[in-house]
Amino acid sequence: MALIGAHVSIKGGILTAFDRAKELGVEAVQVHPTPPQTWRRLKPSPDTVDEFRQRMTETGLDAFFFHAVYLINLATARDDLLASSEASLADSLDLANTFGVRGVIFHPGSHKGLGFEAMLPQMAAAMSSALAAAPGRSLLLIENSAGAGNNIGSTFRQLRQMLEAVDNERVGICLDTAHAFTAGYDLATPEGLRAMTKELDFEIGADRLYAIHANDSKAPLGSNRDRHENIGDGFIGNDAFGRMLRDPLLSRVPFLLEVPGLEHDGPDRANVDRLRRLAGLEPVAG
Ligand SMILES: [Zn+2]
Ligand SMILES: [Zn+2]
């Protein structure tokens, strides 16, 4: 059975993620360890690290992920942006190792017309350098894109080419359901979902999938638009999330909500309960 999780804020400090996870009743968490629109670094005190690790053990919330900053672009032609992107990924991986967090999920970026194949060696080299700069167990997880403009990673084929090019056990995939849907994978229907998981397994391999971003979509199939919607209120729908939560390939990994929330305040209890009901679980009391 899939673990149900959510992206939560760390306003007030990274340790508050555990309180928010408890309030939501989730078993998996994602946070931005640093503000996602800046290159700012986080240098936690040893006390914070100790307390984080202690709370992780106490709560059993070891399905903990970081989301990297949005400024990263490994396919850029600008040397300064590439250097900042690589350093930021290395920092996040190092931070994940320090805290004992499973991995860092990131958006590979856009080639802005230069071409995916042309930029692939540069992207692979940047990922390899970031991993080498942060030795340890933390994973580097490439998130699939909706395919707007020249955004990298909207097809499993491209993701597979990236995995092959970097050739490192620590690199895997995070599948965003809304991005996959608007990239053209019709996971809303039983046949479409079967076709998608088959292609995912064939191109990437189920063992390289480490997390799901469980988001409904405000934008239609194949629109290439990145517009997250609350579970059941978009083009993907409740039935499809029920099937995904029971899918043998997908349900092995945590489902992390990144939905707007009913109050437009981010993932909330209502969306967590929707996923839990669709998974055939009782809502958590309290
Ligand atoms: Zn993301
Ligand atoms: Zn996502």
68 Cα–ligand 1 center, Å: 8
4 Cα–ligand 2 center, Å: 15
Mean pLDDT value of segment 153-182? 98
pLDDT of res. 171: 98
The CA distance from 178 to 187, in Å, is 9
Q: Which ligand is nearest to the CA of 228?
A: 2
DSSP state of 110: B
pLDDT digits (tens, 9 = 90+) for 4-63: 999 999 999 999 999 999 999 999 999 999 999 999 999 999 999 999 999 999 999 999
Q: Which ligand is nearest to the CA of 256?
A: 2
Task: Give whole-number Cα distances, 285 to 197, 228, 278, in Å.
Answer: 33, 27, 17
72 Cα–ligand 2 center, Å: 15
Mean pLDDT value of segment 60-80? 98
Global model pTM greater than 0.85: yes
The residues, any chain, with a CB within 8 Å of residue 240's CB and separated by 6 or more, are: 187, 188, 189, 193
Task: Indicate the SS3 state at residue 140.
Answer: strand
Say yes or no to pLDDT of 206 above 60.
yes
The residues, any chain, with a CB within 8 Å of residue 236's CB and separated by 6 or more, are: 177, 178, 181, 187, 188, 216, 217, 229
pLDDT of res. 124: 98
Confidence of residue 231 (pLDDT cuts 50, 70, 90): very high
Say yes or no to pLDDT of 286 above 60.
no
Mean pLDDT value of segment 121-143? 98
Task: Give whole-number Cα distances, 44 to 47, 62, 98, 168, 277, in Å.
Answer: 8, 19, 9, 28, 38
Angle (CA) 221-187-175 rounded to 5° is: 100
| Domain range list for the chain | 4-278
106 Cα–ligand 1 center, Å: 6
Amino acid in position 233: D
Let me know if domain 4-278 sits in CATH 1.20.1090.10.
Answer: no
Query: Position of tokens 């992390």?
Result: 256
Q: Which ligand is nearest to the CA of 141?
A: 1
Which segment of 17-21, 85-89, 112-116, 280-284 scores lowest on mean pLDDT?
280-284
106 Cα–ligand 2 center, Å: 9
98 Cα–ligand 1 center, Å: 22
pLDDT of res. 285: 60
CB 245 within 8 Å of CB 251:
yes
